[in-house]
Amino acid sequence: MYNDQDLMIRPIEERDLFRLWELIYKEDAPEWKKWDAPYFPHQSIPYELFLEKGTAWVGLDRMWVISVNDVVCGIVSYYFEDEQQNWLEFGIVLHEAHSWGKGLGTRALKLWINHIFNTLPVVRVGLTTWSGNERMIRVGEKLGLLLEARIRKVRYYDGQYYDSIRMGILREEWEARENGDR
C-alpha cells in the first residue's frame, strides 16, 4: 500500500469487486473507454459473470486499485511484454470523468512506478498509449518518461487513424528524478 495524502494505491480486496464491476463492466460504452484503447471492443457483463474472473484479481501484484478518500476510482496495472520479464509496461485507468484533470493519475502513477522499481528487478518501465489520448501523454511527460517510439497510423478509431505512442523511463533516470537530480 502506498499513500499520497488522500490518494492511495493498494492491492485489490474482495470488498472492491462490486465497485470495480460498476466502473468497468456495468455499461457497454462507458466514458473512460473513449480514452483507454477505444479501438479494442468492450462490452458490459453481468456482475455474477464478472465475479467468475474478478475474484482472481484479489491480491494480484500486477493490478491494484486507486482510491481517493477511501473510494475506489480506478486501477493501475503492469504486464510483461516479453517472456524473459525484462520489458514491463504499466497502465492506469481513472474510470469516472470527475476524476480527470486533477493530477490524480500523475500522483497514482508516481506511486505505482516507485512500487514497481522497489519490488521488481526491471531496469525500465514504459507505457503504451495512442496519440488521441493527449492527457496520458502529458502524464508520461510530467513523470519524466521519454518518447521511445511513435508507430504511425496503426490505431483506427471513429473514422480516423492515430499513432501508437510508446514512452519509457530507466531505473537510473527515475531514481535521479526522485533524488532531485533531474
pTM of the model: 0.94
- B/e letters for 99-131, b = 16+ CB within 10 Å, e = fewer, are beeeebbbbbbbbbbebbbeebebebbbbbbbb
Determine contact, residues 104/68, Cβ cutoff 8 Å.
yes
- Domain count for the chain: 1
Residue 36: which CATH number? 3.40.630.30
Cβ pair 114, 178 in contact under 8 A: yes
Q: How many CB atoms lie within 10 A of CB 67?
A: 19
Output 54 or 46, whichever has higher pLDDT. 46
pLDDT over 80 (residue 3): no
Euclidean distance between CA atoms 69 and 88, whole angstroms: 29
Using DSSP's 3-state secondary structure scheme, residue 127 falls into: strand
Edge-to-edge strands, sheet with 71-80: 2-4, 7-11, 63-68, 71-80, 88-94, 124-130, 160-170, 146-157
Write out pLDDT tens, residues 24-44: 999 999 999 999 999 999 999
Residue 182: pLDDT over 80 = no
CA distance 9 to 68: 9
pLDDT in tens, 88-114: 999 999 999 999 999 999 999 999 999
136-174 pLDDT, tens digit each: 999 999 999 999 999 999 999 999 999 999 999 999 999
Distance CA 115, CA 128 (A): 19
Domain containing residue 163: 2-178
